Amino acid sequence: MQFKLFTVPTTDDGSYLEELNKFLRSNKVLEVEQQLINLKNGSQWHFCVKYLANTPIDGRDGARPVSTKIDYKEILDEKTFAVFSLLRESRKEVAGEDGLPVYAVFTNEELAGIAALSEITTESIKKVNGIGDKKAERFGKRLVEYYNQAQLEG
């Protein structure tokens, strides 16, 4: 992860904003923090951009990074894929409750990691790369509950 700082005067004619927008369009941005700073000679917006360096893009100006689709049915064994499928349905329920896209709850890669665990609990999912305490606390408990319920029904 990399950081880049931008300063945009409130009196900008658009050139500073264009530089910022061009950077945002051409990089995989993880987070943008902004703050308005009042100085003696005027106000400025300060932006801190967290991004992934060297992320491939598909060649178009402002294009999004190229992603390669993974067919988890091909790379997971049958039993693990069945667990993965139940976890995807559980993730959909959690995302629906919070009004979020499913990938904001857990990515497919994270779900595949969870599916490979010998026991699926709120604690055990923290072992999966990309899932920390906050994510496990916010989404993990409900995911495990939906998953356990789906197993009982299935």
pLDDT at position 30, please?
86
Cross-strand partners of 34: 47
Kindly report the pTM of this predicted structure.
0.56
CA distance 23 to 41: 27
- Which 8-state DSSP code applies to residue 11? T
Place of tokens 């990309």: 130
Q: Are strands 42-52 and 28-39 parallel, antiparallel or unpaired?
A: antiparallel
Q: Quick: pLDDT tens for 17-41.
A: 899 988 888 888 888 999 999 988 8
Q: Smallest Cα–Cα separation from 94: which of 140, 149, 154, 153?
A: 140
- Which 8-state DSSP code applies to residue 63? P
Q: Quick: pLDDT tens for 137-152.
A: 999 999 888 888 877 8
Average pLDDT over residues 112-135: 92
